[in-house]
A and B are shown apart, each in its own frame.
Chain A
């Protein structure tokens, strides 16, 4: 059966070039970069080269990059560092639509460690109101942590503007940039964030490697204590093959940036326009906001997401849902609820997220099969009224 992978915001395929680049560092070049001998020295130079590639992708200084195990570790490190290095400040500002790596941590700090957290809301399109951000900042604010792009809807926040406002008040600014790195050109010389988290497996590197960017001069205190690795900012022997893989992935991301923002964007739009044309009663979440080029969040009204996903899955199409029923929680996605997407739509929300490995055939295959799935489930739904119409298959006949 054909596999159409449209779940790249969950994880991506490791690029074959990345895998090739990693291979020598298991069995042949297995030295420890901290060793004094030449065998280790060679590895150290490779690790530093990877750091350089990552810095270029971000428009950052090499020395401001530290390698971690994942995006979640980077997020935890950043927030805890800000709290530890400013023990008199216990207030955090974040948003209601963050990834659980930030949201659950903030809730934990609130509940168990005496922190106060302000959660900024978003409008119907998933956008922040920056006046609310200004109003939330106090003398007690230790850190502001706001994601650069949302994983569920692809909505991009105006990070340059946000960071300028926060820095003008002298407050530490962190951004979870896991979803945007590799999908949009970034330049940290122009965007004054102090810390930034990213994750390798969202940009065609393997799972288990991440980065925390720490701008020179930022108040910091390490999370992992031990050896002197990463200039004392993250102890633990470097995950050499994965760091090298991530370095290669950063180079590829830079090379593919134009394709990502032209061909992938065109495929996403083809899917979006196709669905709007053939499926009645749907809603594109964040349609009026600035969005990542690869992400499409669609609410199919009056049906439930897990049912749609399972039927797509039976056809080899991999996507994900904003519905509760797949996650074990019963509330639909906190992001959609924060946006005020009505329950009638929130439960039936599917996220399609593309990558450079997707083709026009993938999109047409998906468009060809979706109408039948949606019609089938709607006919079964007590809320669906046949007068609302069925999917038009014109132009996409089976």
Chain B
């Protein structure tokens, strides 16, 4: 069972503002029954101020608590104030959420955004328009994942799942999520311009990164990797152990090994497997 804060428990047991506002002029609906949670938020906005808010939620305790908290946070506030509200504010208001449950607060923030667009007469956000679908189980795109990673400084797949649900189903997209994390981190952590490496320096650095970062993780799965040659930006390697027979070795090379080497050595590197 999850460790919920007192405030989450209290809002779950005594939810505020359940129902639908009669004469609502802003409605936001997000989620779906397939995903396991959904929220319908109805608001009445008068003279630029939220005068009433109600919710209906299908979901777990933290989804219900997040929705209840959201209504309490926005009633009486001006539209300007409400527009600034983020999922983090909901989490703070609730005294924290388990990391696997952050997506409940994200759902609250999305419903609010959706309701405000409805009030302003803007079309609902087209998810498909923003990027390519990564997580098919929960319909999450690369753009959404990238935003969550960037905004919240996420570093692991589990964190991404906690924020966006992506990767929480069949887990088939974990490699793609990792690649997004690596890409965003590479951008944010390694902005400083690298000095040009000599060929010898480059080979040494590649050897070093393979030894320190890549091999331990491959070995933990019973595999291994060896550097065969470097020609310009082409890094030629041979796979050993489990990696040789593993069906996912191509992805390991392209997504994982190449990602790390690009981050640590130089952007233009490509990794290729060679047979000896």
Interface residues of A (CB under 8 A from B): 111-112, 114, 302-307, 309-310, 313-314, 323-326, 328-332, 343-344, 347, 379-383
Inter-chain pairs besides A307-B59, A310-B61, A331-B168, 6 sampled, C-beta below 8 Å: A112-B242, A112-B246, A310-B1, A329-B168, A380-B15, A382-B40
Chain B residues whose CB sits within 8 angstroms of the CB of A332 once the complex forms: 36
A-B contact count (CB 8 A): 86
User: Which of A309, A314, A330 makes the CB contact (< 8 A) with B168?
Assistant: A330
User: Cβ of B59 and Cβ of A343 under 8 Å apart?
Assistant: no
User: Which of A112, A114, A326, A381 makes the CB contact (< 8 A) with B58?
Assistant: A381
B13 nearest in chain A by CB position:
A314
A111 to B58, CA, bound (A): 36
With A112-B242, A330-B138, A330-B168: A302-B58 Cβ-Cβ less than 8 Å: yes
B105 interface residue (CB < 8 Å to A) = no
B37 nearest in chain A by CB position:
A304
B56 interface residue (CB < 8 Å to A) = yes
With A112-B242, A331-B168, A383-B33: A325-B221 Cβ-Cβ less than 8 Å: no
User: Which of A114, A331, A343 makes the CB contact (< 8 A) with B245?
Assistant: A114
A329 to B169, CA, bound (A): 7
State the Cβ distance, B10 to closest chain A Cβ, in Å: 12
B161 interface residue (CB < 8 Å to A) = yes
A324 to B104, CA, bound (A): 14
Chain B residues whose CB sits within 8 angstroms of the CB of A325 once the complex forms: 36-37, 59-60
Chain B residues whose CB sits within 8 angstroms of the CB of A111 once the complex forms: 246, 248
Interface residues on B, range: 35 or more
User: Cβ of A330 and Cβ of B33 under 8 Å apart?
Assistant: no
User: Which of A305, A328, A331, A380 makes the CB contact (< 8 A) with B57?
Assistant: A380
User: Cβ of A304 and Cβ of B138 under 8 Å apart?
Assistant: no
User: Cβ of A304 and Cβ of B59 under 8 Å apart?
Assistant: yes
Q: Tell me which of A305, A309, A328 has the highest count of chain B C-beta atoms within 10 A of its own C-beta.
A: A328
A-B contacts, 16 listed (Cβ < 8 Å): A303-B58, A304-B36, A304-B60, A307-B12, A309-B1, A310-B61, A324-B168, A326-B1, A326-B2, A330-B161, A331-B170, A343-B34, A344-B33, A347-B36, A380-B15, A382-B40
User: Cβ of B165 and Cβ of A330 under 8 Å apart?
Assistant: yes
State the Cβ distance, A264 to closest chain B Cβ, in Å: 26
Q: Tell me which of A303, A331, A380 has the highest count of chain B C-beta atoms within 10 A of its own C-beta.
A: A380
B203 interface residue (CB < 8 Å to A) = no
Chain A residues whose CB sits within 8 angstroms of the CB of B40 once the complex forms: 382
State the Cβ distance, B215 to closest chain A Cβ, in Å: 17
Chain B residues whose CB sits within 8 angstroms of the CB of A323 once the complex forms: 36, 60
A110 nearest in chain B by CB position:
B247
B40 nearest in chain A by CB position:
A382
Chain B residues whose CB sits within 8 angstroms of the CB of A304 once the complex forms: 36-37, 58-60, 63
User: Cβ of A310 and Cβ of B15 under 8 Å apart?
Assistant: no
A344 nearest in chain B by CB position:
B33
State the Cβ distance, A198 to closest chain B Cβ, in Å: 27
A103 to B269, CA, bound (A): 39
Within 8 A of A (CB), among B54-86: 56-61, 63-64
Shortest Cβ-Cβ A-B pairs, 3 listed: A330-B168, A325-B60, A306-B60
User: Which of A330, A379, A382, A383 makes the CB contact (< 8 A) with B169?
Assistant: A330
Q: Tell me which of A306, A343, A347 has the highest count of chain B C-beta atoms within 10 A of its own C-beta.
A: A306
B166 nearest in chain A by CB position:
A330
Within 8 A of A (CB), among B1-26: 1-2, 12-13, 15, 18-19
User: Cβ of A112 and Cβ of B222 under 8 Å apart?
Assistant: yes
Chain A residues whose CB sits within 8 angstroms of the CB of B182 once the complex forms: none
With A330-B138, A330-B169, A331-B168: A383-B36 Cβ-Cβ less than 8 Å: no
User: Cβ of A379 and Cβ of B59 under 8 Å apart?
Assistant: no
B114 interface residue (CB < 8 Å to A) = no
Chain B residues whose CB sits within 8 angstroms of the CB of A344 once the complex forms: 33
B39 interface residue (CB < 8 Å to A) = yes
User: Cβ of A381 and Cβ of B60 under 8 Å apart?
Assistant: no
Chain A residues whose CB sits within 8 angstroms of the CB of B2 once the complex forms: 306, 326
A329 to B167, CA, bound (A): 9
User: Cβ of B61 and Cβ of A307 under 8 Å apart?
Assistant: yes
User: Cβ of B18 and Cβ of A380 under 8 Å apart?
Assistant: yes
Chain B residues whose CB sits within 8 angstroms of the CB of A306 once the complex forms: 2, 60-61
State the Cβ distance, B239 to closest chain A Cβ, in Å: 14
A358 to B13, CA, bound (A): 28
Chain A residues whose CB sits within 8 angstroms of the CB of B59 once the complex forms: 304, 307, 325
Within 8 A of A (CB), among B185-241: 221-222
User: Cβ of A307 and Cβ of B221 under 8 Å apart?
Assistant: no
B38 interface residue (CB < 8 Å to A) = yes
User: Which of B63, B64, B100 makes the CB contact (< 8 A) with A328?
Assistant: B100
Within 8 A of A (CB), among B220-276: 221-222, 242, 245-246, 248
